[in-house]
C-alpha cells in the first residue's frame, strides 16, 4: 500500500454539492447564456458593494478595459500602473491605445509605491491603475487624494482583493471604478468571470453596451448600435457557481487568515527567516489573504526559484509565480523599458514564490510545505 501524500496544489477552489446541483438545474433549464442567474449575481454584488451598480463579465480583464473606455481614455493618454502584476493589467491600457507608465513597488507591501506616483504624472496622464497584490489593499486614502489632486480617474485592479477592506470599508464599496476577478484561483469563483463596480447608472448602461457588441435593445424588436463593443457577457452557468460561492466568502477568508497565521508561525520556527526568506506584510485586518508569497533571498542561495519550485514539485507540493515583471516582456521592451528601470519590482519578480493557500488546506499541510521548503533552502545555501 502506498503511503505517499496526495499532491498539494498551490490553490484549489471549494465548490459544494448544492452549487453543483444548482449548475445541473441551469443546464436542464435550457437558459445557459446570460439570464436570471446573472441578474441575481449582479444584485448580490451590488448589495455587497453598498448599493453601487455592478455588472458581471466573462473575465476580470475586460472589466478594466471597459472602465478605461468609459473614462474616455485612449490614444495619446497615459495610465500609471505597477510593473508587478499579471500582464493583463497593462495590456488593457495598450488595448485602448494609451501608454502604460510604470512606477516601482514598495518592497514591504509589494504594491505600487504611491510615494513615487506623483513624479510620474504628466500632462498626458489620465488615470491610475493600482493592483492589490495577493489581496493586500493599496492605501486608498493616499491613492484617491493623489487622483483628486491631479484630476485623474482610478481603475482599481482589485482582482485579488474581493473580501478585503480598507479602514473597515469593503473594497468595492467606495472609490471610482473597481474591477474584481472570479477566476478559479480567486477567493470565490464563477469558473471564469469578473465584475465591474461603477459610479452611477449611466456608466452601468455604457458598460452593458461595451459588454455585448454595443447593442441597445428596445421593445420586442428594436435594436441600435452606438459604439464598438465586444463579447464579454457572463453565462448563467458561471453565475450560478458564483451565487453558490457567495455565502461562503467569510468562511473562506477566515480560513485563509488562519492558514496565513500558521505560515507566520512555522516559517520562522523552521529557521527560514534567519536564512533571509522575507514574509509578506502581516495585515490580518484588511487583507483577504488571496495568496501567501515569500521572497527568496537569491543572494544567499545556490539555486534559482525555478529549481526550488521543481524540488517542491518532486516533494508533491505545487507553488506559483505571481508575477514576472511586465516591463521586461518582449512586447514592453520594444516600447522602451529595460532591466534596471524598477529594481524593487525586478527583484520581487525574480524571487517571489507563492506557497499553497486555499480553504480546504489544514495546518498539517502548511507544516508539510514549510518543512520541505526549509530542507531545500538549508541544503542550498551559499558558503
168 has a pLDDT exceeding 60: yes
Q: What is the CATH number of the domain that holds 263?
A: 3.90.1150.10
pLDDT band at residue 383 under the 50/70/90 scheme: confident
Mark 65-95 as b/e (b = at least 16 C-beta within 10 Å). bbbbbbbebeeebbbbbbbbbbbbbbbbbee
Number of domains in the chain: 2
* The domain boundary residue, chosen from 222, 247, 272: 247
Give mean pLDDT, residues 66-70.
98
Catalytic residues: 186
137 and 26 in a common domain: yes
- Which of 161, 202, 175, 178 is closest to 64 using CA atoms? 178
219 and 368 in a common domain: no
* The domain boundary residue, chosen from 215, 230, 247: 247
Give mean pLDDT, residues 74-89.
98
355 and 285 in a common domain: yes
Residue 383 lies in a domain: no
Strand partners, 318: none
Q: What is the pTM of this model?
A: 0.96
Domain ranges, residue 297: 249-378
pLDDT of residue 147: 98
Give mean pLDDT, residues 112-141.
98
Residue 4 lies in a domain: no
Burial class (CB in 10 A: 0-12, 13-18, 19+), 312: buried
Residue 109 lies in a domain: yes
Q: What percent of the chain has pLDDT over 90?
A: 99
pLDDT of residue 3: 55
Mean per-residue pLDDT of the chain: 97
182 and 272 in a common domain: no
309 and 196 in a common domain: no
43 and 191 in a common domain: yes
Give dist(CA 102, CA 80) in Å, integer: 6
349 and 222 in a common domain: no
pLDDT band at residue 182 under the 50/70/90 scheme: very high
Residue 1 lies in a domain: no
Amino acid at each position: 500500500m502506498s503511503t505517499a501524500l496526495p499532491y498539494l496544489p498551490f490553490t484549489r477552489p471549494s465548490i459544494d454539492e448544492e452549487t453543483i446541483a444548482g449548475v445541473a438545474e441551469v443546464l436542464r433549464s435550457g437558459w445557459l447564456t446570460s439570464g436570471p442567474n446573472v441578474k441575481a449575481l449582479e444584485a448580490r454584488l451590488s448589495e455587497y458593494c453598498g448599493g453601487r451598480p455592478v455588472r458581471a463579465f466573462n473575465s476580470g480583464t475586460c472589466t478594466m478595459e471597459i472602465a478605461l473606455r468609459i473614462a474616455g481614455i485612449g490614444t495619446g493618454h497615459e495610465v500609471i500602473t505597477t510593473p508587478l502584476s499579471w500582464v493583463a493589467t497593462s495590456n488593457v491600457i495598450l488595448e485602448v491605445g494609451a501608454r502604460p507608465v510604470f512606477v516601482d513597488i514598495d518592497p514591504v507591501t509589494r504594491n505600487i509605491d504611491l510615494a513615487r506616483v506623483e513624479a510620474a504624472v504628466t500632462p498626458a496622464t489620465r488615470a491610475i491603475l493600482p493592483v492589490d497584490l495577493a489581496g493586500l489593499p493599496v492605501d486608498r486614502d493616499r491613492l484617491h487624494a493623489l487622483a483628486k489632486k491631479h484630476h485623474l480617474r482610478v481603475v482599481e485592479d482589485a482582482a485579488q482583493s474581493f473580501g478585503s477592506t480598507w479602514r473597515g470599508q469593503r473594497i468595492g464599496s467606495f472609490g471610482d471604478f473597481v474591477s474584481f476577478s472570479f477566476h478559479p484561483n480567486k477567493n470565490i469563483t464563477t469558473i471564469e468571470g469578473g465584475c465591474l463596480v461603477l459610479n452611477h447608472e449611466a456608466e452601468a448602461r455604457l458598460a452593458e453596451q461595451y459588454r455585448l457588441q454595443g447593442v441597445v435593445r428596445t421593445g420586442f424588436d428594436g435594436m441600435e448600435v452606438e459604439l464598438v463593443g465586444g463579447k464579454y457577457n457572463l453565462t448563467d452557468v458561471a453565475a450560478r457557481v458564483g451565487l453558490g460561492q457567495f455565502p461562503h466568502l467569510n468562511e473562506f477568508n477566515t480560513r485563509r487568515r488562519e492558514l496565513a497565521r500558521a505560515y507566520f508561525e512555522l516559517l520562522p520556527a523552521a529557521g527560514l527567516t534567519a536564512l533571509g526568506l522575507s514574509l509578506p506584510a502581516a495585515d490580518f485586518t484588511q487583507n483577504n489573504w488571496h495568496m501567501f508569497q515569500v521572497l527568496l533571498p537569491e543572494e544567499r542561495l545556490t539555486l534559482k526559484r525555478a529549481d526550488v519550485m521543481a524540488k517542491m514539485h518532486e516533494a508533491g507540493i505545487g507553488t506559483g509565480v505571481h508575477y514576472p515583471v511586465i516591463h521586461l516582456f518582449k512586447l514592453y521592451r520594444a516600447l522602451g523599458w529595460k532591466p534596471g528601470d524598477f529594481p524593487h519590482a525586478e527583484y520581487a519578480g525574480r524571487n517571489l514564490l507563492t506557497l499553497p493557500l486555499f480553504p480546504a488546506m489544514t495546518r498539517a499541510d502548511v507544516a508539510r510545505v514549510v518543512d520541505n521548503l526549509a530542507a531545500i533552502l538549508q541544503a542550498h545555501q551559499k558558503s
